[in-house]
Amino acid sequence: MKADIAHIRETEKTYARRENGFHREIAVIDPKTGRALVTARIYWPGSTAYCALWINAHPVNGRGNGKAGGGGYHKPSAALAAAIDDAGIQLSESINGVGDSAMERALEAIARAATGKRRFIIHKAHA
């Protein structure tokens, strides 16, 4: 999977961050510095999943938010897909509703595009 970050931006939307309903976090970490380059947090306080996405890979910075409601598909990956789109990033493959492994591949692709590096640590935290 590849990520196009040519139009990366920091969105003004704020609905994704929730104090309650933390579900999971996936962070892509630079093994040399220990810094999180890309972080996605999923909040699921009810029937809608929300995602907050941060890209902090100096000099590339971005932020996006997304949400997914309804039923019959993988909501966390759909929310992440919406957040990636909100941040102005284009992926070579859709991750909308696809699942956990697609989420990790997408975040790693964003880190690769932002830094040019190939090796990362994927850190996952669950509620």
Q: What is the mean pLDDT of each run of 10 residues along the chain (127 residues)?
A: 96 68 96 97 92 94 94 95 97 96 98 97 94
CB 48 within 8 A of CB 100: no
Average pLDDT, the chain: 93
pLDDT, residue 14, reads 66
Q: Model pTM greater than 0.75?
A: yes
Q: How far apart are CA 120 and CA 124, in angstroms?
A: 13
Domain hosting 93: range is 3-126
- Please state the domain count of the chain: 1
Give pLDDT tens digits for 51-80.
999 999 989 999 999 999 998 899 999 999
Alpha-helical runs (H) found in the chain: 75-86, 100-115
